[in-house]
Structure 1
Amino acid sequence: MIQFSKPKLELDALPHVYILLLDSVSSFMAKRSLPQSLAYLKAEHGAIQMEFLNKLGINSRPNAFALFFGKTEEAGSRTLVGQPPIQADWDRRKKCREYIDK
């Protein structure tokens, strides 16, 4: 049996990425309510604020799924505009037990 060795990577060679998702706050309200926190994150950690992301679910999880995978896990109603409902891309079985890239 052939064994392959993984290359050794220095910890500093790996990218450091932190993702902070805030529920129920718009970009405008975050800038208005948290100016010092946002300034600190930008100055000390090189943070960026992602503008123009739409709310797709009731909390961070469905919104993060849409942001990172381009898939929805909650259906959406469009009855107010006279359109058919939006079907969810993933249900519980698909998002937990199937490969994304198959």
Structure 2
Amino acid sequence: MHAQTFRKDIPKQAQSSPADQKPDVHIILFDSVSHSQFIRSMPKTSHFLKEFYESISFRYLNKIGLNSRPNGHALLMGKSVFPIAESPVSRGYKTDYPNESWCEEYLDEDQFIGYRFQDAGYISMMSEDWAYGVFNWPNCWGFNHKPVDHYMRPFQIRVEGYYDQSPDMASKVYNGTCHEEFHHQMEYLKDFLRVYPDIPKFSITWMSYLAHNDANGLFHSDDYFYNFFKDYKDKVRF
């Protein structure tokens, strides 16, 4: 079982936009990894990004909640799930979602960042390695319709038996295959880069299993991501 990206009909916004003026935007997110931990765990990748991608570190960019859910909403929706208490470093903020509407209503009409890029003429993609995901955990509605042009969520739902259809599928896909969860995501991203060389692209690749439960889980992937950024540098639009 695998996931693939096939080229779709180009959206009208992308057809009518001056594509050569728009850079690609790719969010590759390692869940539960701090800036300092990334530098310690992935020195080759960090160095390559600085030297050849001219990457910039956003120091002191702080989280606003306990776990990935409130921080994911802040990052991808620009909204606060929970109120932020007044403190010496904050004047305090109310929640942007009254009556827990962030969980008990569909998010299709919300200000998801992927929608903004689609409106600007980008082709879009999103993948998460966990079937629940940032917008669905623990039992939230999430999106009623797929929020991007290419959505890897059906793969995760099938693999993890999200609806109790295939409780042993994960072991068949991952065990003894030399492929971790993030490998499938990155292959999906590589496909996405290959099939749209002429269109500005926006993607979110959110990896939870790699380091969420193990602070040492990131080290072994340094060579993989170093090689990815090196091999695909010419396929990313700057």
TM-score band w.r.t. shorter chain? 0.5 to 0.7
Which residue number corresponds to residue 15 of structure 1? Answer: 23
Letter in 1 for 2:39: K
Answer 1 or 2: which has greater strand percent.
Answer: 2
- TM alignment of 1:1-102, pairs within 5 A: 8-55=16-63, 56-59=65-68, 62-73=70-81, 75=82, 88-90=95-97, 91-93=102-104, 96-100=107-111
Cα RMSD of the aligned pairs, angstroms, is 3.2
Give the structure with higher Rg (CA): 1
Structure 1 residues 54 and 65: alpha-carbon distance in aligned structure 2, compared to 1, 3 A threshold? same
Flag structure 1 segments of 5+ consecutive residues without an equivalent. 79-85
Residues 31-86 of structure 1: per-residue CA shift (max 9 Å, x gap): 12111111112222222222212232422x5323213543122x3697xxxxxxx7
Letter in 1 for 2:103: R
Structure 1 residues 10 and 58: alpha-carbon distance in aligned structure 2, compared to 1, 3 A threshold? same
In the alignment, the residues of structure 1 paired with residue 106 and residue 80 of structure 2 have an alpha-carbon distance, to the nearest angstrom, of 10
Q: TM-score, normalised by structure 1?
A: 0.58
Higher relative contact order (CA 8 A, sep 6+): 2
Q: TM-score, normalised by structure 2?
A: 0.29
In the alignment, the residues of structure 2 paired with residue 49 and residue 98 of structure 1 have an alpha-carbon distance, to the nearest angstrom, of 32
State how many pairs are aligned.
87
Flag structure 2 segments of 5+ consecutive residues without an equivalent. 1-11, 86-92, 112-238
